[in-house]
Each structure stands twice: as structure tokens, then as C-alpha cells.
Structure 1
Amino acid sequence: MSNMATEIVAFLLTVSGWILVSSTLPTDYWKVSSVDGTVITTATFWSNLWKTCVTDSTGVSNCKDFPSMLALDAYIQVCRGLMIASVCLGFFGAIFALVGMKCTKIGGSETTKARLTVLSGFHFILSGLCCMTACSIYAHRITTDFFDPLFVAQKFELGAALFVGWAGSVLCILGGLIFCLSLTDGFSVRQANNAIPHLSSEV
């Protein structure tokens, strides 16, 4: 029963983390910068993995999509690939978890369900690592440019999407580890149960 409750907690953590990771991908504010003047001329510049925009004090936004994937900076291409991989890994991890958890009626034998559970855990761990790597690469580029005295272009700061991505990746990794540990506990209990009849027969 405790093993089943552990799996449910792990599932809630991983799915919550995957939702946060998935919401990070289309989120606008990966990096943000403000140009302050009078109330009328204040403008906010922000970018994500797909476009760059400017919003004036009246709330009107003008956006420009990145023109060509081949013309993008390498770090943006890497972050795109890692985030898409993270979302896909989390999706398949959720499916494996639903099939492999003990509280579900599908998945076959106990051994098969146990293997699906640990496979789900690995998927979520990889998903969290991909998202954390993507957010860290993007944040490193922002901070490097910000503190570089020779960088004369407009400087940006960390956007809210990065913090959401880090939070989601931590939840995915934590839930994936719990899935793997719950499987280890289940194997230990199963071996103990198999050993009891063997000892009884010897007595």
C-alpha cells in the first residue's frame, strides 16, 4: 500500500513538472529588458526561443519571428532541441507511468509493470535534465552578455520562463528518482516474500 502511495506521489510530481516544462516552451519572457524614459516612451523588450518583441507603455506589442533556423545563434538552436526533447520524454514517461503503476489495471504482470515504472522514471529524469540544461545555457548567455563590459548591444535580464523551467525540471527529476526508488523497494519486498516460503520448507 505504501509503495502504491509512493508511486502516486511520484506521478503527481512528475506530471506537475512536465506541465511546467511544457508551458515554458511557448512562454514569452525568456529574457527581458526595459528602456525607461517618460511614461509615454517606456518600452519593454523581450524574447523567447521563437521571436523577439517590444511592448510600449500602452500595451501594444510588435513582434518579429526569427527569420531562419540556420541563421540563429547556436545556443538558441540547442535550447530549442533540448526543450522539445524534454517535452517528448515527459509525454512518454507519463504514458509508461500510467501503465506501470500498481493502481492501474493495465500493463500485464507485476514484472512488466515494474519495468515500465522504472522506464518512466528514467524518462522523467532525462526530461528534467534536458530542460534544466536548456534553461541554464540560455541563462548563462544572458548573464555573460550582461556582465561583459565590452558588450555594447542591449543587455537583458533573466525572464520568468527560465525560473518556471528550472522548477519544472526539479519536479521531474525528483519524481523520476522516487519512481526508481519505489521500484527498488518493491523488488526488496518481493525477494523477502519469496525467501519466507523457502525457509519454511527447510524447517
Structure 2
Amino acid sequence: WDVGAAELLGVLVSAGAWLCALATTLMSTWLTLSTELLPSESYQLGLWETCVVQELGSMECRPYSSLLGLPPDIMLARILMCCAVAAGLLGLLLPIPGLRLVNGCRPRRARDKRALKAAGGALSLAAGVLALVPVSYIAHMTVVRFFDESLPEMVPRWEFGGALFCGWAAGVLHLLAGALLLTSCARHRDRQVPVRVPLGRLDIGTRTEYV
């Protein structure tokens, strides 16, 4: 397993993870709801707006009126996802100057490149955790409310939307990217450790003299 391939794959996976996290933050399909009373309409709930989708394909979205009126779980998810997008962007940009394929005007020391990749890997791991926490929390609360026996069966319940699955993919990809970058740092460091062989252990052949 080549170090250059590992770090390059880590950056590519980090780019895909960041795009998934950004899409998750902007998508309005965190939760979906459809009722039997109005089968021609379905509702979508996102972090920034709510949408009503008609059966014919038209959609009408309205942003939240105020921050104070947001549900606590939506507010928490919005904050954590914004932090995940910011950390993921830094985790994507920092390792690029530390790649073996990138050569600047001045030769960079291997220690500086390793530090950039390590910082990018740590930020990718943090972005993965920040993305998985709100998505999993919203999914958990949705399951709890879906099976709430205190509500009548005729009351419509929210269900998982596509944004939740995109958020899970973003979190897993961020964790994978961080692991690849940190692994490339460790292997690169192991390669640079010099091997010292004691002179006393060298096998010196016997010298034969002919008269």
C-alpha cells in the first residue's frame, strides 16, 4: 500500500464527504410527511425551510420565520451541520499542500507535510462526528415519535427523508478520509526512520592468506 495512493485517496474521499455534508445541510428533505386526508400533497422539513410538494410536481417552500421559533432539535442540527461543513472544508484544503504530488517553489520538509496531513485528518474525523450526531439524533427522535402510543393512529407521523441518508454517508466518508490521511502520516514516518545496524553484529568473513 503506497503512501502517495493513501493520501490522494484520502483527499478525494474528503472532497466527496464535504459535498455530501453540504448537500445534507441545504436539502429540505430531512423529514417527510404524507397524509391520507390530502394524498395529493406531501410535506418536507429541512434545516432552513419547509416545503409543500403537490402531486403534479410543483413545490412551494417557506423559510422559518424566526430563530426563536425553531424546534430545539432543528436548531442543534443546524449548528452542528454548519460546523461539520466548516471543519470538512478545512480538512480538505489543509492536506493538499502536504501531498507528495504537490511541490511548491521552496522544498518543504517532510515534517511540515506530515503536520498538514495530520491536521487535515483530525479535522476530517471531527467533521464526521459533527455530521453523524445531528443526523442520528433527528433519526432517533423521529423513530421515538413514530412509535409513540399516546398519539392516535390517524395522526400523521414524520418519516425519514433523503437528507438523513446523505448525512450518514457524509459522516462515514469523513471518518474514512481522516483514517486514510492519518494512516499515510504514520506510514510515511515509519519509512523515514533510519535503521542502524551495530558494527559488532556485521558478519565479516574470514580472511585467508596464501603463502
TM-score by length of 2: 0.86
Classify 1:76/1:37 alpha carbon distance in 2 versus 1 (closer, same or farther; 3 Å): closer
Classify 1:181/1:45 alpha carbon distance in 2 versus 1 (closer, same or farther; 3 Å): same
Q: Distance in 1 between the 2:61 and 2:163 partners?
A: 18
Q: List alignment gaps of at least 5 residues for structure 2.
A: 203-211
- Counterpart of 1:163 in structure 2 is 165
Q: Are the equivalent residues in 2 in contact too, given 1:36–1:43 (CA < 8 A)? A: no
- Counterpart of 1:95 in structure 2 is 93
Q: Distance in 2 between the 1:163 and 1:117 partners?
A: 28
Q: Distance in 2 between the 1:70 and 1:37 partners?
A: 31
**Is the aligned partner of 1:141 residue 2:141?**
yes
Matches for 1:1-203 after TM superposition, within 5 Å = 2-36=2-36, 41-106=39-104, 108-151=108-151, 154-191=156-193, 194-196=194-196, 199=198
Deviation (angstroms), 1:201? 10
Q: Which amino acid in 1 is paired with 2:28? A: D
What is the DSSP-based 3-state SS (H/G/I as helix, E as strand, rest coil) of the residue aligned with 2:163?
helix
Query: Aligned residues: percent identity?
Result: 24
Q: List alignment gaps of at least 5 residues for structure 1.
A: none
Q: Where does structure 1 differ by over 4 angstroms across 4 or more consecutive aligned residues?
A: 198-203
Q: Are the equivalent residues in 2 in contact too, given 1:43–1:55 (CA < 8 A)? A: yes
Q: Distance in 1 between the 2:116 and 2:18 partners?
A: 18
Q: Distance in 2 between the 1:199 and 1:21 partners?
A: 53
Paired residues, number: 198
Deviation (angstroms), 1:187? 1.2
Q: Distance in 2 between the 1:63 and 1:3 partners?
A: 47
Deviation (angstroms), 1:64? 2.5
Deviation (angstroms), 1:141? 1.8
TM-score by length of 1: 0.89
Q: Distance in 1 between the 2:176 and 2:87 partners?
A: 15
Deviation (angstroms), 1:185? 1.1
Deviation (angstroms), 1:29? 0.8
Query: Which of the two has higher C-alpha Rg?
Result: 2
Moved more, 142-151 or 112-121: 142-151
Q: Are the equivalent residues in 1 in contact too, given 2:32–2:158 (CA < 8 A)? A: yes
Q: Are the equivalent residues in 2 in contact too, given 1:15–1:94 (CA < 8 A)? A: yes
| Higher helix proportion (structure 1 or 2) | 1
